[in-house]
Every structure is written in C-alpha cells, then in structure tokens.
C-alpha cells in the first residue's frame, strides 16, 4: 500500500506483559503514546507510519508536475487543492510517528538518505494530463481501500490520522475520475490519452498492495497487532472488483486479457503484475526513483535557510520579550 | 543546539459554539506561525472559527497507570446521575 513490505519486528519481552498488551488489542482498545507497548510494535509502527507519510509527500511530485499545465483554471485550482491536502496528510502522519519517539527531522533524514521507503507507485512518471486523472482514480482509489480499514488500527494517533485522511481522500478519487472521464468522453485523441494512462497505471496500482500473501512474510504479527487489517491479496481483489466496472463506464479497456468475471467466486479473475518489476522499483531502479529523491533533497536543502532564519527570528523575539519583562 | 522547530498542539472551535477541540499537531518556530500553519492545514473546509495553539512541552498529562485511582471512584457513585432518582409521573417533566 502506501506502506509496502513493512518489516515486522519480533519482540523479546516479558511474556506476561506481551499477553496483556495483546489482550488489550483483542478487546478493541486503542493503544496511546504513553501506554506500555512492545519494542517491536513501536519500531514496526514507526517504519509503517513513516513510510506512509513519505508516500504522501513524495506523491505530491508527480501531481505537482501538472499544476502549472492543467487544461483549465478550474482543474488547476482542484489539483492544487488536492496536492495541498496530500501535504497535510503527510503532516498528520509525521505527527503520529513522532508520538512514538522519533523526531520529524530524524524521519525526514531517513527518507532523504534512502533508509526509509515510500510507495513504489510514485516512482512512475506522470506523462500526460490524463495521468493526473488516473492517479486520482486508481492510486487514491487503491489507497482508500487500505486506509478505510486502518481507521480501526490499534494505535490511537495513527487511527485518528487515518480518520482525518479518509474524510478528504474521497474528494481525491472523485476529482481523478472526473478528470479522466472528461478525457474519455472527449475527442478520439483525448480518449486515446485516457486509455494510455490506464494502460500504464493499472499494474503499478495493483502493486501498491504489496506482494502476494504467500510471499508476504511480515503480515502475521502486524495483523495480530491490528496495524495491518486485511491481507494484500484481499485488498487487491477488492480493488479490481470495484475498479473494473468504473473502467467499463468510461469505455476504457483494462490492459489484462485474462480479466474475467468468475461467477463461482463472485470476483474478477485477473493477471498479477510483474513482481520482478515491483522488487526492482523498491530497490531503487524504477523510472523516477533518482529524480524523486533528488527533488526531496533539493527542497530540504534549499529550505534550510528559511527554517534556520525563522527559528533565529523566533528566538530573538522571545529574548526581547524576556528582556522587556 | 536543537534546530528543529518546536511541536504545537492545535485546538479548533467548530462553527457550533462548541468548546475548542484538539485536532492535531504541527511544527512552527513560534506561536504566530503555528496559528498561520494551523489555519492552512486544519481549517481548509470550514472546520472552525477560532484557533488555539499550545506548545506541546507545556501540556501536562495524567499517566495511563493512574487510570484506576483517578477514575474508578466515580464508578460507584451512580447517584450523581439524574436517572438514579425515581420521580412519580404525576409530578410531570423534571
């Protein structure tokens, strides 16, 4: 998802404490920052929430790419609002991570030097305007699949961040669908553009849910802790079932010749994405990995004088106030 | 010296004459910027008419382990609720 392949940490602590902790989670209680928690729970959450936050921030790059070139002023205002929302989502999540005992700067630096990841999807380029529609429709659509259940996650601050995010996310998906629908219902050239966007974003969107359950080694502990609610394959199937009729409405073709409704299962059968491509992108070899990290590093470095200047100003003002008292 | 901007907790009064409610946190160099940032992030969809910000280090909080001593005593005091008292129907609404 926005957090893919998050390694779950084993905990070697007092079995009694661990059992009591698990009982709280099983009873549906929320764990709050000052409560006792296993080291592994804390570490896994920092990794997962951090990766989720980084995805929100890095995810603004492919979309920001089109803000100045949106086809109308209205589309531009909408896209700008969406990108601003994503930055806000990053903020909520960073704040949730901070309650676990890392600082914002530490988490940021781990992104910038590659120690922490962000979702594989944002390493694909946004080549034409219809891509912006496809991103809202498919990428945000896939994100919602995962984020809605995460509202019930066991960690209080994470759950509250998810509730805020989900409230705003539906706008994102709808604006995307609206944008790609305008293309799909437009001139033949515009429709071709919409189809091209679907062709390129379909499989990377399926990859967002992470590897198939059989290869997903970290799920069990995370699911027991309720920091992962559904398996990767469950969510992927749900996404396909929901999205295929939406594509049909647009008159677009999902690029999968094996896609077929399975009456017996009550689900669509579909082809898996190329998992070797997924692992390659995760390793840093996707089309945009280098650019994305370079852009984030540049923004961080170029903004340093602003951060330092504002802090110096705040300290000077505070000192003047003390002197005046 | 730590050069990270301090953390602020943000409280917003909704439109309904309610009290300020905690909505989230953010980093800012000072209170003025914290309010500006809070306005940009937390009131994007008419969520509020007033903002409070408090630097997080200035908030004192009760400890989770005090839950028992702090809150259990009130569990046995059912007479603090109006429903504890039977009022005859003849008396009318009360």
Contacts with B, A 171-210, CB within 8 Å = none
> Which residues on A lie below 8 Å from B30 (Cβ)?
310, 313-314, 317-318
- Per-residue DSSP letter, A155: B
At B38 the pLDDT is 97
Task: Evaluate whether A83 touches A67 at the Cβ level (below 8 Å).
Answer: yes
pTM of structure: 0.93
Q: Please compute the mean of the pLDDT values over residues A11-28 and round it to a whole number.
A: 91
User: Looking at the partner chain, which of A160, A161, A317 has a beta carbon nearest the beta carbon of B30?
Assistant: A317
Q: Please compute the mean of the pLDDT values over residues A88-105 and round it to a whole number.
A: 96
Q: Which residue has the higher pLDDT, B66 or A7?
A: B66
Nearest in space to A288 (alpha carbons), one of A131, A123, A139, A127: A123
Residues A167-212 have pLDDT tens digits of: 998 899 999 999 999 999 999 999 999 999 999 999 999 999 999 9
Whole-number Cα distances in Å, A74 to A139, A175, B45: 22, 11, 18
How many helices (H) and strands (E) would you count in chain B?
2, 3
Contacts with B33 (C-beta within 8 Å, 6 or more apart), sequence order: A310, A314
Q: Please compute the mean of the pLDDT values over residues B5-24 and round it to a whole number.
A: 93
Domain B7-91 has CATH 3.40.190.10: no
> Which residues on B lie below 8 Å from A317 (Cβ)?
30
The radius of gyration of chain B's CA atoms, rounded to the nearest angstrom, is: 21
Where in chain A are the domains? 15-273, 287-324
User: Which band of pLDDT confidence, cut at 50, 70 and 90, is reported for residue B1?
Assistant: low
φ/ψ (deg, to 5) at A159: -60, -45
Using the predicted structure, report yes or no on whether residue B15 has a pLDDT greater than 90: no
> Which residues on A lie below 8 Å from B24 (Cβ)?
91-92, 95, 160-161, 164
Using the predicted structure, report yes or no on whether residue A305 has a pLDDT greater than 90: yes
Q: What ipTM, to 2 d.p.?
A: 0.88
User: Which band of pLDDT confidence, cut at 50, 70 and 90, is reported for residue A1?
Assistant: low
Rounded Cα gap, residues A296 and A300, in angstroms = 6
Q: Which residue has the higher pLDDT, A325 or A241?
A: A241
Residues A65-80 have pLDDT tens digits of: 999 999 999 999 999 9
At A70 the pLDDT is 97
Domain A15-273: CATH superfamily, name plus number: Ferritin, core subunit, four-helix bundle (1.20.1260.10)
Rounded Cα gap, residues A240 and A268, in angstroms = 7
Closest-CA residue in chain A for B7? A95
Using the predicted structure, report yes or no on whether residue A11 has a pLDDT greater than 90: no
User: Which band of pLDDT confidence, cut at 50, 70 and 90, is reported for residue A243?
Assistant: very high
Q: Return the residue in B22, B25, B48, B59 with the most chain A beta carbons within 10 A, the one to mutate for interface testing.
A: B25
φ/ψ (deg, to 5) at B12: -125, 135
Q: Please compute the mean of the pLDDT values over residues A106-111 and round it to a whole number.
A: 96
Q: Which residue has the higher pLDDT, A226 or B66?
A: A226
Q: Please compute the mean of the pLDDT values over residues A283-294 and round it to a whole number.
A: 96
User: Which band of pLDDT confidence, cut at 50, 70 and 90, is reported for residue A112?
Assistant: very high
Task: Evaluate whether A6 touches A47 at the Cβ level (below 8 Å).
Answer: yes
């Amino acid at each position: 998802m926005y957090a893919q392949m998050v390694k779950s940490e084993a905990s070697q602590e007092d079995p009694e404490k661990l059992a009591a902790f698990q009982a709280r989670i099983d009873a549906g209680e929320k764990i709050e920052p000052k409560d006792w928690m296993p080291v592994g729970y804390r570490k896994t959450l920092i990794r997962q929430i951090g990766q989720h936050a980084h995805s929100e921030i890095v995810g603004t790059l492919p979309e920001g790419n089109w803000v100045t070139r949106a086809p109308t002023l209205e589309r531009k205002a909408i896209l700008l609002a969406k990108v601003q929302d994503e930055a806000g989502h990053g903020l909520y999540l960073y704040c949730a991570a901070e309650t676990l005992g890392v600082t914002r700067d530490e988490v940021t630096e781990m992104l910038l030097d590659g120690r922490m990841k962000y979702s594989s999807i944002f390493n694909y380029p946004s080549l034409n305007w219809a891509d912006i529609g496809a991103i809202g429709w498919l990428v945000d659509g896939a994100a919602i699949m995962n984020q809605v259940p995460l509202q019930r996650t066991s960690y209080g601050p994470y759950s509250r961040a998810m509730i805020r995010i989900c409230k705003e996310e539906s706008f994102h998906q709808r604006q995307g669908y609206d944008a790609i629908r305008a293309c799909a219902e437009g001139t033949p050239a515009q429709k071709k553009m919409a189809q091209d966007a679907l062709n390129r974003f379909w499989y990377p969107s399926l990859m967002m849910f992470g590897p198939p359950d059989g290869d997903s080694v970290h799920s069990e502990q995370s699911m027991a802790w309720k920091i992962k609610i559904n398996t990767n394959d469950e969510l992927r199937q749900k996404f396909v079932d929901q999205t295929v009729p939406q594509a049909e409405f647009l008159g677009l073709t999902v690029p999968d010749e094996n896609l077929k409704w399975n009456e017996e299962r009550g689900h669509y059968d579909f082809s898996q994405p190329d998992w070797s491509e997924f692992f390659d992108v995760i390793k840093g070899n996707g089309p945009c990995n280098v650019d994305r990290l370079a852009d984030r590093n540049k923004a961080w470095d170029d903004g340093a004088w602003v951060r330092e200047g504002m802090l110096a100003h705040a300290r000077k003002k505070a000192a003047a106030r003390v002197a005046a008292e | 010296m730590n050069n990270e901007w301090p953390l602020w907790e943000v409280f917003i009064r909704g439109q309904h004459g309610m009290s300020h409610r905690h909505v989230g946190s953010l980093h800012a160099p000072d209170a003025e910027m914290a309010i500006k940032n809070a306005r940009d992030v937390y009131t994007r969809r008419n969520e509020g008419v007033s903002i409070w910000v408090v630097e997080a280090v200035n908030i004192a909080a009760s400890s989770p382990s005090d839950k028992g001593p702090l809150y259990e005593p009130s569990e046995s005091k059912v007479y603090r609720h109006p429903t504890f008292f039977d009022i005859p129907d003849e008396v009318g609404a009360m």
